[in-house]
Amino acid sequence: MSPLFLGADVGGSRTRVVLSDGIQIVSEAEGPGAAVRPDRALASAATITEVIRHALGKAGHRRADVLVVGAAGAGRDPEREELRQALRAEMVAERVHVTTDIEIAIESAFGGGAGIVLTAGTGSIAIARDAEGRLHRCGGYGWQMGDEGSGYSIGRSALGAVGRAADGRSPETALTAAILAATRSSHLDALIRWCAKAGPAEIASLAPTVFEVAATGDTTARGIVDYAARELSQLVFHLLPHFPGESPIPVAYNGGLITREGQLQQLLRSKLGEDARLRPSANPVEPAIGAVQMAERMGKDESPPGSE
């Protein structure tokens, strides 16, 4: 039987799994987000495994030869190893390798080439691979320390604007009615209770509502979207020193917030256009494909780093 390779893209809002036989994609599956949190690898592994088993089952298989997981929150060795061990225990693949969601995004975007991947979903980060293959990051410090321009940041800014408007500290905004409706809150006190229980992914889910209000011309909402575009562009600009010379620098977009055509993407393209060397790609990155490509390559290597 032909070997089977699994690639998983694990974010804060969505998990996507791709199964390949080394020649073509034979199955895909999606499920909830399972971003890695310290000491919570078992919970992440359970969600990831459920999606993996769905992909395997659709193709009539129970186990793959190599699994590569690129997960948000897996930037540190302890979290990566904890998740790898938890996935090994699930027996869905002979060999398991865990890396970051950005690593698989770069693989998808550039193969072994140089460039910058800007990711904006629930969180945000930019990663550059220079001409020597070295990786450099900007941002990506999580919702408590960073994630500027992310869905969480946009949602949090909108909630703050609603609160200030309620006090009269800021002008009235159409965001108030829109956010109340989006959270199914009948009044401000109900929204406060919703916020007290909401996690980063739930806050980030308000970003599309902000975009809708901004499209109507609401000044506050438009300001939030413009600020997000500026913050995201700064993540890219701060990586430019790693690309000396005048050669074009490809920039790929990753994450649901900026891969869809809309006001944020348009503003971001405009701001990145301020540096003539940047060449934004029109094609979205497919990190799960990058993960399965890594798995296929590791299948030819008996001892890839960090796997069994």
CATH number for the domain running over 5-106+287-299: 3.30.420.40
3-state secondary structure of 19: strand
Helices 151-167 and 207-215, axial angle in degrees (round to 10): 60
Confirm if 257 and 207 have CB atoms less than 8 A apart: yes
The number of angstroms, rounded, from the C-alpha of 52 to the middle of its chain's C-alpha atoms is 19
Token code pair at residue 198: 């909401």
Which residues, including other chains, have CB under 8 Å from residue 274's CB and lie 6 or more apart?
233
DSSP calls for 27-72: EEEEEE-----TT-HHHHHHHHHHHHHHHHHHTT-S-EEEEEEEET
Q: What is the pLDDT along the chain (308 residues), one digit of tens a residue?
A: 689 999 999 987 789 999 999 889 999 999 998 888 877 888 899 999 999 999 999 999 999 999 999 988 777 788 888 899 999 999 999 999 998 888 898 888 888 788 999 988 888 889 899 988 888 989 877 777 878 899 999 999 999 999 999 999 999 999 999 999 999 999 999 999 999 999 888 999 999 999 999 999 999 999 999 999 999 999 999 999 999 887 889 999 887 788 777 888 889 888 998 888 998 876 668 889 999 999 998 887 754 444 45
User: Cα–chain-centroid distance for residue 185?
Assistant: 28
How far, in Å, CA of 97 to CA of 219, rounded?
Answer: 47
With beta carbons less than 8 A apart as the criterion, state whether 116 and 127 touch. yes
Read off the pLDDT of residues 159-199 as tens digits, 9 standing for 90 and up: 999 999 999 999 999 999 999 999 999 999 999 999 999 98
> And the tokens for 139?
């941002």
pLDDT digits 0-9 by tens, 254-280? 877 887 778 888 898 889 988 889 988
- Give me the phi and psi of 91, to 5 degrees please: 60, 40
